[in-house]
Amino acid sequence: MWQYEKKLQYPVKIKTPNAKLAKVIISQLGGPDGELSASLRYLNQRYSMPYGEVKGLLTDIGTEELAHFEMISAILYQLTKDLSIDEIKASGFDTYFVDHTTGIYPIAASGAPLTAAYFQSKGDILTDINEDMAAEQKARTTYDNILRLADDPDVRDPIRFLREREIVHYQRFGEAFRTG
């Protein structure tokens, strides 16, 4: 089971809306290397794992990814709050706005909606942990790309935190691989 706590894992306090930035950061919500596909990957894979170390790690990292999913949602919510219709048109956010207004919906930056095709659950410990290590590196690269595109320090700070978590998860999966 899961329980909710009414707080973010790391603070998100963005003062200036920026729809253009929301359009690219949304990839970490519903994109191929995003937080939701990460969570679903780990929480689905854990059932076929033979060792407690790996069952524990997939459960705990899969749970942490849900907290990251919430942080990305908070970033998107704050970046798109109180936008004027002129800002929506000028930023290119109009293509999202027409379908979702400013509701939070998991898509990639390209507009493709979240799909289970973004991850695998192969039932083999070494195959799955290899995928997980690659997934953490792909997410880290996506955060590097977001940091290349984002100037606002209020946005960069939580994105940097999320990027660092990918590195820690990669290290822990590396240790799990050796137990397998």
- Nearer to another protein by C-beta: 69 or 93? 69
Instruction: Flag whether 144 is marked binding.
Output: no
Q: Can you read off the two tokens belonging to residue 38?
A: 């990460």
- Nearer to another protein by C-beta: 116 or 168? 168
Measure the CA dihedral 133/136/141/144, to 10°.
-140
Say whether 88 sits in a helix, a strand or coil: helix
Q: Which residues bind another protein (CB under 8 A)?
A: 3-15, 52-53, 56-57, 60-61, 64, 70, 73-74, 77-78, 168-169, 172, 175-176, 179
Instruction: Flag whether 175 is marked binding.
Output: no
Q: Return the ∠ at Cα 96 (arms to 90 and 99), rounded to 5°.
A: 130
- Nearer to another protein by C-beta: 51 or 116? 51
Q: Can you read off the two tokens belonging to residue 45?
A: 């894979």
Q: From CA 29, how far away is CA 54, in angstroms rounded?
A: 25
Known binding-site residues for Ca(2+) equal 60
- What residue numbers does the annotated binding site cover? 35, 60, 65, 68, 136, 169
